[in-house]
């Protein structure tokens, strides 16, 4: 038991807990939070800096700080794909999300599935979009718990109760404060994270003899792994690496928790400014990734690669500062877990239950249901982590990225054109989901880079991220069936969105 580190950890955890409950009073409207727009989107009131902290806290999670260095610790250069994918994501964000924000704000949409419902007027396409989002979020929430569990285990806290207590507290202040709670906590979390990373990347390399020595020792350690790895990409990894970056960028901006953070902004200009400013987090992510090489160079030995970073901090720093660093990682789990549970409850309330209830729910009814669903989602993720092996959550998360890519035709292309027929999009979505899942399943969910076998005249075997060929199949079927359905005169539904919302 690392008593000093644990005491510091508990102190900071207590501070953010108090901040989470205080957030219920922060910017609280006179009418309270008895609507989904107020509880789930904070009244669409966040300016540039709050949105920056919120989206950053949303995208760069506790599991990011654990998993990205763990990927480099275990597999070398291949794990660096997370850095270019974040770079690709922000120009894409600049182009697509302000346009989506305008339409959603004009019509009071709370989720991207709401947008699809208005754009295409097709219940089953809406349900498909919402169901995909909920399915992809559940293992993502569980992974935040995995990150917290790894940190607690490193300090000597084992068993079920520490994690259960942490998430009961999270559930309580999310229930009372809604999206305002993670927005407040994100500010504290991000400041702590920057201090942690900068201290680690300055102090630890000095102790190890400089970065040249770090890379040398890391490369030597990676050569002993099974299979052997290096700090450089091998030629056979180029396509897998690049498609992982591209596919992950496409999926990132479609996740429901991203939508929730983006739609809470006060204007499209806030989103544009964030697209310009968020690459600062990409720089931080590159630094975070280097922690994996520092762990190798420092001689950290562990079969569980996820524990490499916590063990590195406990070995390299005084216990009080190691406790601060581990608290930063654990608090980094609270922000995305809260936003994800809110996003999942918004989707269920509006686009799953709401589609079949038979009447339009009152704002107070939507808010009450969403609060209950957010509790169910969090405790479902807690049970997932406590009673199923950790690799299950990681493997399901691999599927989550593949699934989210299949929403590109409906949402990303849909915000620019309504050319696609909604039933063609439903069939294309089903084909993409089935083929992507089959490719990952054929690899026993151990990897998402699939060796796609093509005829020799098309280059033979191409190892690429399974989401990419699945999305190409999705698009091909959607285009083909749109042509068929339009020529057959099949009803294409109605677009109830305002055309002027797409301009500007």
pLDDT (tens place) for every residue of the chain, 504 residues total? 778 888 988 898 888 888 888 887 777 766 667 788 888 888 888 999 999 888 887 777 776 788 888 888 888 888 888 788 878 888 888 999 999 999 999 999 999 999 999 999 999 999 999 999 999 988 888 888 888 888 888 888 776 777 788 878 888 888 888 888 888 888 888 888 889 888 998 999 999 999 999 999 999 999 988 888 898 888 888 888 899 889 988 998 899 999 999 999 999 999 999 988 888 888 888 888 889 999 999 999 888 888 888 899 989 999 999 999 888 888 888 888 888 999 999 999 999 988 888 778 888 888 899 999 998 888 888 887 777 666 666 667 778 899 999 999 999 999 999 999 999 999 999 999 999 999 999 988 888 888 888 777 777 788 899 999 999 999 999 999 999 999 998 988 899 999 988 886
The secondary structure of 145-193, three-state, reads HHHHHHHHHHCCCCCCHHHHHHHHHHHHHHHHHCCHHHHHHHHHHHHHH
- How far is C-alpha 352 from the geometric centre of its chain's CA atoms? 21
Q: d(Cα 161, Cα 78) in Å, to the nearest integer?
A: 36
Domain boundaries, the chain: 3-15+42-390
**Tokens 């450089």 sit at which residue?**
232
Segments in 209-307 forming alpha helices (H): 211-223, 238-252, 256-263, 268-277, 279-297
Cβ neighbors of 434 (< 8 A, separation 6 or more) are none
Q: Over the range 72-90, which residues count as b (16 or more CB within 10 Å of their CB) and which as e?
A: bbbbbbbbbbbbbbbebbb
**Tokens 């004009």 sit at which residue?**
106
Q: d(Cα 469, Cα 15) in Å, to the nearest integer?
A: 46
DSSP label at 449? E
**Tokens 């990897």 sit at which residue?**
447
Predicted structure pTM score: 0.90
Q: d(Cα 432, Cα 404) in Å, to the nearest integer?
A: 10
Strand (E) positions, 277-417?
Answer: none
CATH dotted code for 3-15+42-390 = 1.20.1730.10
């Amino acid at each position: 038991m690392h008593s000093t580190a644990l005491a510091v950890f508990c102190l900071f955890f207590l501070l953010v807990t108090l901040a989470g409950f205080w957030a219920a009073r922060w910017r609280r409207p006179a009418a309270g939070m008895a609507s989904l727009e107020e509880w789930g989107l904070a009244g669409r009131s966040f300016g540039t800096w709050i949105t920056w902290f919120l989206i950053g806290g949303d995208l760069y999670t506790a599991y990011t700080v654990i998993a990205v260095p763990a990927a480099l610790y275990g597999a070398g250069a291949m794990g660096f794909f997370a850095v270019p994918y974040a770079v690709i994501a922000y120009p894409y964000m600049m182009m697509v999300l302000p346009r989506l924000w305008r339409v959603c704000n004009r019509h009071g949409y709370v989720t991207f599935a709401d947008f699809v419902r208005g754009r295409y007027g097709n219940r089953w396409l809406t349900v498909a979009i919402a169901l995909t989002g909920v399915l992809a979020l559940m293992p993502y929430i569980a992974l935040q718990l995995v990150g917290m569990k790894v940190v607690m285990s490193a300090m000597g806290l084992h068993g079920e109760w520490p994690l259960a207590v942490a998430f009961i507290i999270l559930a309580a202040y999310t229930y009372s404060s809604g999206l305002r709670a993670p927005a407040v906590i994100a500010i504290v979390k991000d400041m702590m994270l920057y201090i942690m990373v900068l201290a680690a990347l300055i102090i630890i390399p000095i102790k190890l003899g400089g970065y040249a020595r770090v890379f040398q020792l890391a490369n030597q350690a990676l050569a002993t792994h099974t299979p052997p790895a290096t700090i450089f990409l091998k030629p056979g990894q180029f396509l897998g690496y690049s498609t992982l970056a591209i596919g992950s960028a496409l999926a990132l901006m479609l996740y429901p928790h991203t939508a929730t953070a983006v739609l809470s902004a006060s204007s499209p200009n806030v989103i544009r400014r964030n697209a310009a400013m968020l690459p600062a987090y990409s720089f931080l992510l590159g630094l975070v990734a280097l922690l994996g090489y520092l762990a190798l160079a420092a001689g950290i030995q562990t079969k569980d690669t996820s524990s490499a970073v916590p063990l590195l901090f406990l070995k390299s720093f005084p216990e009080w500062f190691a406790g601060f660093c581990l608290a930063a990682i654990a608090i980094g789990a609270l922000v995305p877990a809260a936003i994800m549970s809110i996003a999942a409850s918004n989707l269920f309330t509006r686009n799953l239950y709401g589609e079949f209830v038979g009447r339009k729910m009152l704002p107070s009814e939507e808010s009450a249901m969403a609060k209950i669903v957010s509790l169910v989602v969090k405790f479902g993720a807690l049970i997932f982590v406590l009673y199923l092996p950790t690799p299950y959550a990681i493997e399901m998360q691999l599927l989550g990225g593949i699934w989210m890519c299949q929403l590109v035709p409906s949402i990303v292309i849909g915000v620019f054109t309504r050319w696609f027929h909604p039933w063609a999009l439903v069939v294309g979505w089903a084909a993409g989901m089935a083929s992507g899942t089959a490719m990952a399943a054929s690899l026993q969910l151990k990897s998402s880079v699939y060796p796609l076998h093509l005829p020799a005249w098309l280059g033979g075997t191409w190892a690429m991220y399974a989401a990419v060929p699945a999305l190409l199949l999705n698009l091909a079927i959607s285009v083909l069936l749109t042509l068929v359905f339009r020529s057959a005169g099949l009803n294409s539904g109605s677009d109830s969105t305002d055309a002027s919302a797409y301009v500007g």
